[in-house]
Amino acid sequence: MAVIDWKIFLLPYEQAVDEIKVKFKSIRTELRTKNEYSPIEFITGRVKQISSIIEKANKFDIPISRIVEEMEDIAGIRIMCQFVDDIHKVVDIIRNRKDMQIMYEKNYIKDKKPSGYRSYHIIVKYGVETAYGHKDILAEFQIRTLAMNFWATVEHSLNYKYMHQIPDIIKTELINAADAAFKLDELMLLIKDEIIDSQKYFEEKSSAVTDITDDINFLSNENITEANRINMKLNKALEDGNINEILSLRESSKKLVSKKLK
Ligand code: 0O2
Ligand code: 0O2
């Protein structure tokens, strides 16, 4: 039987997970910097544990020499979304990428698993540049809402505790919980616009406050009286919770700073 040096074997998978995470975090940063809504809430990634690889290879009768071709989730990327319809936007983003090739997709949202599990899975071929040249590996994306993620995380720990033999009574409760989580996703979708508006409002307010405090810092070296005056106005606007007051204060502090810079 072939002996594997797992540390070396897993290196390209670790590289792939790190690279893909950076790339998808950048999409989120780019959209948020432009004040646009990001369908990506957060991203996690992991390389499968050696023990899980061996267990899965045994379960599916995959010879060690065929693991690269046949085990699709050694590199795993999980993308969490706030709303169910964001999942399809993320799927489109992946479909349009030039740096990965989709092998196939599994829609466990439309066809939930008997356990109650819901997620959208995409298996891709991804190329990494190693010290010895180009290497293609398979990676699995799991795209899901926060509610689906909550359910899957809890169910995964129970499976671990019961070694995949969850008692029937708990299984039934889990199926009910999965349906309740999906219902929650559907309800949230109904008030999505309202939620996004309030998140935008919060982001606009905090970015205006950051700009004003930057201006106050700058002005405190130039004209301490002006700096104190703006600081007092900012405190009052924050106390009043008045976004328009904060936005107009940003305008006036910006003008003062640019005057000083001339
Ligand atoms: P940000 O800007 O705070 O999202 P890492 O190696 O640190 O990049 P890792 O170890 O793969 O990431 O995974 P980890 O630490 O479990 O979580 C990855 C990112 O997801 C972290 O943010 C967490 O803050 C974020 N995260 C995890 N759970 C939740 C959650 O329930 N809700 C939200 N909104 N975020 C969560 P980053 O990458 O440090 O940056
Ligand atoms: P890990 O790394 O511990 O998460 P399978 O049928 O699950 O043996 P298959 O056919 O390769 O494996 O792929 P599938 O069904 O698409 O599932 C792959 C991964 O999806 C699993 O990885 C889980 O992460 C997740 N998943 C699938 N079904 C369930 C489920 O019922 N509950 C939870 N919590 N997650 C699920 P692994 O292999 O379990 O490993």
Q: 2: pLDDT confidence band, cut at 50, 70 and 90? A: low
Residue ranges, CATH 3.30.460.10, the chain: 6-146
Q: Is 26 in the pocket of ligand 1 (CB under 6 A)?
A: no
User: Is 46 close to ligand 2, i.e. is its CB under 6 Å away?
Assistant: no
pLDDT at 1 > cutoff 60: no
Second CATH level (architecture) for the domain 6-146:
2-Layer Sandwich (3.30)
> Residue 13 C-alpha to ligand 2 middle, in angstroms?
18
Percent of the chain, pLDDT > 90? Answer: 82
Residue 239 annotated to the active site = no
Query: Ligand 1 mean position to 29 CA, how many Å?
Result: 14
- Alpha carbons within 13 angstroms on the beta-carbon side of residue 178 total 22
**pTM of this prediction?**
0.85
CA–CA distance, 189 with 88 (Å, rounded to integer): 13
Write out pLDDT tens, residues 116-160.
999 999 999 999 999 999 999 999 999 999 999 999 999 999 988
| Chain CA centroid to CA 101, Å | 20
- 12 CB near ligand 1 (under 6 Å): no
- 216 CA to centre of ligand 2 in angstroms: 52
